[in-house]
């Protein structure tokens, strides 16, 4: 990430938390941290324990982030932030923690007749599928399920890039009542994902099993050599079991599925 990308990410992060900007400048900006963000980034856990236990009114914390120190005014005191900095890693962790599940509405405007726009509920989920052996391949699947008629759309993230989405329901819109429950929708998405995984070329697993068999054969040949004493034999038995376990962990093919994030999205009919 270059500096402009870092700034864009932070601005999107703070906008999502409806943060108040105290000052904006091409080289830096200053924000007043919302409570949730302050708890993640402010590094003052004792303060929040004190405030919450006594029921006191919290005092917001201001932070200034500098993206270009050379063009920033010399009197600006702030934290330099760039890709790889520990502070940015905190932002990534906070985004993952608070942004794993979202509820967003497509923004609409009233037409001349004054009619409201119906928004259709979708369950969108992003998965990472890892094909693992002594090698590894990751695939990303973005799936969306229409909670009205059950249609599943792949590459759902592409559709999410088009509309303007906000956490608040727009004034001239209403949400349609879903037919499918979230549990039913999750089951359908998992079934669809299993079918997509099953359609992938499985030759990688066969080749991994062949490499595993070759490694196990070499291990057996090594450990079947005669030992000089019973004590050596006991040690070789333990070492052999450990080596076989290591080989199976390294070579045996498996598929890991990780849910990255997801949410409810209310979109206009297409």
Structure tokens at 144: 């969306």
Q: How far apart are CA 157 and CA 262, in angstroms?
A: 10
Predicted model pTM: 0.69
Q: How many CB atoms lie within 10 A of CB 268?
A: 14
Question: With contact defined as beta carbons under 8 Å apart, do 51 and 64 qualify?
Answer: no
Q: How many CB atoms lie within 10 A of CB 182?
A: 13
Question: Could you tell me the CA-to-CA distances from 153 to 47, 54, 147, 198, 264 in Å, in that order?
Answer: 46, 50, 12, 18, 14
**Residue 202 backbone dihedrals phi, psi, to 5 degrees:** -95, 10
pLDDT at 129: 95
Structure tokens at 247: 């080989």
Q: Give the position of tokens 């093919």.
A: 253
Measured at the CA of 133, the angle between CA 131 and CA 134, to 5 degrees, comes to: 130
pLDDT one digit per residue (tens) for the chain, 270 residues: 888 999 999 998 898 888 999 999 999 999 999 888 888 888 888 988 888 888 888 888 899 999 999 999 999 999 999 998 999 998 888 887 777 888 899 988 765 566 788 999 999 999 999 999 999 999 999 999 999 999 999 999 988 888 888 888 888 889 999 999 999 999 999 999 999 999 999 999 999 999 999 998 888 888 777 666 555 666 777 888 888 899 999 999 999 999 988 999 999 987
* Alpha helix segments (H runs only) across the chain: 3-16, 35-41, 45-54, 86-98, 156-160, 182-198, 203-223, 230-251
Q: What's the half-sphere exposure (Cβ side, CA atoms, 13 Å) at 188? A: 19
**Residue 253 backbone dihedrals phi, psi, to 5 degrees:** -70, 145
Q: Which residues contact 64 (CB under 8 A, 6 or more apart)?
A: 23, 28, 29, 30, 31, 76, 77, 78, 79
**Residue 132 backbone dihedrals phi, psi, to 5 degrees:** -120, 135
DSSP designation for 22: E
Structure tokens at 249: 């962990």
pLDDT at 40: 86
**Could you give the dihedral angle defined by the CA atoms of residues 181, 185, 186 and 190, in that order, rounded to the nearest 10 degrees?**
160
Structure tokens at 223: 């450990």
Structure tokens at 97: 């923690």
CA 200 to chain centre: 24
Question: With contact defined as beta carbons under 8 Å apart, do 34 and 25 qualify?
Answer: no
Q: b or e along 75-107 (b: 16 or more beta carbons within 10 Å of the residue's beta carbon)?
A: eeebeebeeeeeebeebeebbeeeeeeeebbbb
């Amino acid at each position: 990430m270059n500096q402009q990308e870092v700034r864009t990410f932070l601005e999107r992060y703070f906008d999502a938390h409806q943060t108040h900007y105290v000052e904006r400048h091409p080289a830096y900006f200053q924000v007043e941290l919302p409570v949730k963000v302050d708890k993640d980034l402010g590094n003052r856990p004792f303060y929040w324990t004190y405030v919450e236990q006594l029921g006191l009114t919290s005092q917001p914390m201001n932070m200034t982030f500098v993206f270009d120190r050379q063009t920033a005014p010399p009197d600006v005191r702030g934290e330099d932030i760039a890709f790889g900095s520990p502070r940015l890693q905190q932002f990534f962790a906070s985004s993952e923690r608070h942004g794993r599940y979202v509820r967003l509405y497509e923004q609409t405007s009233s037409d001349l007749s004054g009619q409201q726009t119906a928004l259709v509920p979708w369950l969108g989920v992003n998965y990472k599928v890892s094909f693992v052996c002594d090698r590894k391949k990751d695939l990303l699947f973005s799936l969306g399920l229409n909670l009205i008629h059950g249609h599943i759309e792949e590459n759902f993230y592409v559709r999410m890039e088009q509309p303007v989405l906000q956490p608040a329901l727009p004034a001239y819109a209403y949400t349609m009542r879903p037919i499918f429950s979230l549990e039913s929708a999750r089951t359908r998405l998992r079934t669809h994902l299993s079918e997509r995984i099953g359609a992938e070329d499985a030759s990688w697993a066969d080749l991994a099993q062949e490499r595993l068999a070759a490694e196990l054969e070499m291990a057996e040949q090594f450990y079947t050599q005669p030992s000089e004493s019973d004590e050596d034999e006991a040690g070789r038995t333990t070492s052999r079991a450990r080596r076989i376990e290591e080989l199976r962990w390294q070579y045996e093919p498996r598929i890991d599925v990780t849910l990255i994030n997801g949410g409810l999205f209310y979109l206009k009919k297409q």
